[in-house]
Amino acid sequence: MRVVWHSDEDDDVDGLTQGSAKDAHISTDSSKQTLKIFDGNDAVKRNQFRLISVPRIAKNEEVVEAALRTYYINDDQQDYELQTFTQQALLSDDIINRNDASEEICPGSVFRESVPEAWIIRAKPKDHEVLRIYPAWLKIGMAYISLRINKESTTRTVIKEVLPLLGRQVECIDNYKLVEVFMGGKQVQRMVLDDQELIINRLKDIRKTSIRQMNQTRFYIVQNTKSVVRVNLFVGGLPPQLSAEDYTNILKEELAIKRNLVSVIHVYSSQGSVVLEVSCFSEAERIYMLIKDTTVNDKQLHAVVLPEVLPAKLPQNSCPVLVFVNPKSGGLKGRDLLHSFRKLLNPHQIFELTNGGPLPGFHTFSRIPCFRVLVCGGDGTVGWVLGALEEIRYKLACSEPSVAILPLGTGNDLGRVLRWGPGYSGEDPYSILISVDEADEVLMDRWTILLDAPEPVENSENGALEPEPPKIVQMNNYCGLGIDAELSLDFHHAREEEPGKFNSRFHNKGVYVKVGLQKISHARNLHKDLKLQVDQVEVELPSIEGLIFINIPSWGSGADLWGSDNDNRFEKPQMDDGLLEVVGVTGVVHMGQVQGGLRSGIRIAQGSYFRITLLKPIPVQVDGEPWIQPPGQIIISAAGPKVHMLKKSKQKQKKVGSTRETRTDSVSITEEGR
């Protein structure tokens, strides 16, 4: 029995290139050649490959190692071999058997200029293997059982051998089943193996399809239970602030849902989202596929299949981690982390933010009494998750989960302040989880910014002019007006024009420098274009081009804008003191000096309630999101309760074993609820 739920981008293979066999990019280095590497039959059929660059004369083992590395596979290269690719292979169901014998490569041979430019990486056949069996919800105090299997091992014999190792030797093997779980980048797929299936052959078939798929597959031993069909679908993109009955009527009209099979069990009206419970697999699949092509009020609907979490099955006093990954942050690093965390943790703990945002993850964990959150992304992604947490907090059994950060953005100022570093540089994901486990809890203020522009807008019904409703945004790091926001806006426009180029922190910072140089000669008088009131007291502004409100001691990729000098006029800034610091900059040169550590900003004020009156349109940015704000009022005040963040511990991290075997005891924590 196979259960598969595909997402909107099933055909998007992470980091792969698609094209014809003639589209290879030739290395400009004459001593090297570029080769296409397919990781199995599925990649061949889709014509999706990765490119490697190797010396024109290279040992076979070196090319195998490079091919494994490009697919992020850390297995022993001695277990793999390369097979030549031919155009006939695209039409072949069994590429290995149909390849010409004369094209095979002998061990120790070398690649030369005349060899084919495309290859398939294959796993060498084995008569014996060690298979990891995960005990699913069985509480046994270990992550998995390692079992040696041979060509005669079937599903039934594996279950028979595993049960005594789990302390269940007296139980009937008919009460258990072996489940294969594939944790792909865009889907989780389950399949119950037949009792007589030969396990060695099954592993061979998986590797033949894709060696990456084998690397992302687990085998679980599960107790048989009388299952009731119950599929939970998260549906977003609906109009906000409606009742459950209104949402049911909309879905009935747009999706023709059957009320005897589908019911609305949770409503998130402020977010325009609902959770459906569907009692029929075929109806759930029909709704899921139809949603992808459905819009309501010109807004695209989206759906996420939610896993069922059983809090009663969690070990006592456990505190699992809920992981959010933004795959668009940090180039391809976000996507690679998605795969890594799905292997280390239960894959249902990992949520991709481009597929429904943070709300599906928080809903899935809503009945867990204690959990932590790890956000993999930039400061904007962290703000997105914290905003969603604030909106759903009252519906969570754990209303104040602590939040850790794996910084993948450009500035990563909040990540720097909390000691998670300036950006992810390839650290072992397992060590990151250890750091989250050992992190210290700290509090952080959040701020509400009310943007009230009195510019009238035309009423569509009677043509009358009405004031535009206020806009409310949340701030975690800082809010800038003037030159600071203007540079952010120019960068934002450049990224919108050529988004493909903005895939590294180095390039992004280079663009910031470029737009900054273009603004050096521009003269502005921001102090004449706005008025500032702090805690109901008018503040006279000096001659400045930028006004910045800071909540954390890091700005513009790690700069200390407030400075470290003692000043009797102000309290020492803290991220949980209920105060914001107000700083001015005189221009682009001043900003550059601050970022270089040569100067600090001009200290203007410190307070908890701010009113800014804009006399003309001015660029504004909040946590890196810029726009042009029309004349009107801006009010900044504290937002609700402080949020609980996780600060990386200064203590020396526990040494993580270099071999895979040394991880067994520690990984058991992740299986039971890290």
Sign of CA dihedral 207, 210, 214, 218: negative
Residue 342: half-sphere exposure toward Cβ, Cα within 13 Å = 26
Residue 39: phi, psi to the nearest 5?
Answer: -105, 15
pLDDT given for residue 104 in this prediction: 44
Tokens found for residue 667: 């990984």
Q: For position 132, which CATH number holds?
A: 3.10.20.90
CA dist list (Å): 40 to 78, 123, 124: 17, 10, 13
**End position of a domain, from candidates 285, 306, 327:** 306
- Whether 605 and 473 share a structural domain: yes
Q: For position 586, which CATH number holds?
A: 2.60.200.40
pLDDT given for residue 575 in this prediction: 93
Sign of CA dihedral 47, 51, 54, 56: positive
In this prediction the pTM is 0.72
CA dist list (Å): 670 to 88, 143, 345, 349: 45, 8, 6, 10
Q: For position 349, which CATH number holds?
A: 3.40.50.10330
| CB-CB neighbours of 648 under 10 Å | 19
Q: For position 284, which CATH number holds?
A: 3.30.70.330
What is the rounded CA–CA span in Å between residue 65 and residue 63?
A: 5
Tokens found for residue 238: 């609906």
- Whether 634 and 493 share a structural domain: yes
CA dist list (Å): 301 to 185, 234, 245, 254: 21, 10, 18, 11
- Whether 626 and 507 share a structural domain: yes
Residue from 384, 340, 379, 330 nearest 361 by CA? 384
- Whether 604 and 502 share a structural domain: yes
Tokens found for residue 103: 């094209």
Residues 6+ apart with CB under 8 A from 658: none
Tokens found for residue 163: 């049960």
Answer yes or no: are the C-beta atoms of 327 and 340 closer than 8 Å. Answer: no
Answer yes or no: are the C-beta atoms of 591 and 561 closer than 8 Å. Answer: no
Find the helix packing angle between 429-438 and 664-671, rounded to 10°.
Answer: 70
E strand spans, 211-366: 217-223, 231-236, 262-268, 273-278, 295-296, 299-300, 302-306, 321-325, 350-352
| CB-CB neighbours of 269 under 10 Å | 16
pLDDT given for residue 666 in this prediction: 30
> What are the per-10-residue average pLDDT scores of the chain (674 residues)?
41 48 50 87 89 85 88 85 65 38 45 65 90 76 83 93 84 88 74 92 92 87 80 93 93 90 92 93 91 91 90 86 87 78 87 92 94 93 93 92 91 91 87 94 95 62 62 92 84 58 52 51 75 94 93 88 87 93 90 86 95 93 89 91 92 43 32 38
Cα radius of gyration rounded to whole Å, the chain? 28
pLDDT given for residue 491 in this prediction: 63
- Whether 347 and 386 share a structural domain: yes
What is the rounded CA–CA span in Å between residue 457 and residue 368?
A: 45
636's enclosing H/E stretch is strand 632-638
pLDDT given for residue 339 in this prediction: 82
**End position of a domain, from candidates 123, 144, 169:** 123
Tokens found for residue 540: 């006279």
Beta-strand relationship, 643-647 and 440-444: antiparallel
Report the amino acid identity of residue 263: S
- Whether 104 and 150 share a structural domain: no
What is the secondary structure of 171-233 as a DSSP string?
S-GGGEEEEEEEE-SS-EEEEEPPTT-BHHHHHHHHHHH-HHHHHTEEEEEEE-------EEE
- Whether 235 and 352 share a structural domain: no
Q: 261 is in which domain, residue-wise?
A: 231-306
What is the rounded CA–CA span in Å between residue 345 and residue 371?
A: 14
Question: What does DSSP assign to residue 239?
Answer: P
Answer yes or no: are the C-beta atoms of 155 and 199 closer than 8 Å. Answer: yes
**End position of a domain, from candidates 258, 281, 306:** 306
| CB-CB neighbours of 635 under 10 Å | 16
Total domain count, the chain: 5
> 550 pairs with which residues across the strands?
478, 581
- Whether 155 and 202 share a structural domain: yes
- Whether 150 and 110 share a structural domain: no
Residues listed for the chain: 674
- Whether 87 and 167 share a structural domain: no
**Position of tokens 């290269």?**
77
What is the rounded CA–CA span in Å between residue 596 and residue 588?
A: 12
pLDDT given for residue 493 in this prediction: 58
Residue 262: half-sphere exposure toward Cβ, Cα within 13 Å = 26
Question: What does DSSP assign to residue 653?
Answer: P
| CB-CB neighbours of 463 under 10 Å | 7
Tokens found for residue 486: 């203007």
Find the helix packing angle between 429-438 and 333-344, rounded to 10°.
Answer: 70
Tokens found for residue 671: 């299986």
3-class DSSP state for residue 507?
helix
pLDDT given for residue 94 in this prediction: 40
Phi-psi bin for 615: left (phi > 0), alpha (psi -120 to 50), beta? alpha
- Whether 474 and 422 share a structural domain: no
pLDDT given for residue 552 in this prediction: 94
- Whether 442 and 452 share a structural domain: no
Beta-strand relationship, 447-452 and 632-638: antiparallel
Helices and strands in the chain: count of H runs, count of E runs: 18, 39
Question: What does DSSP assign to residue 470?
Answer: P
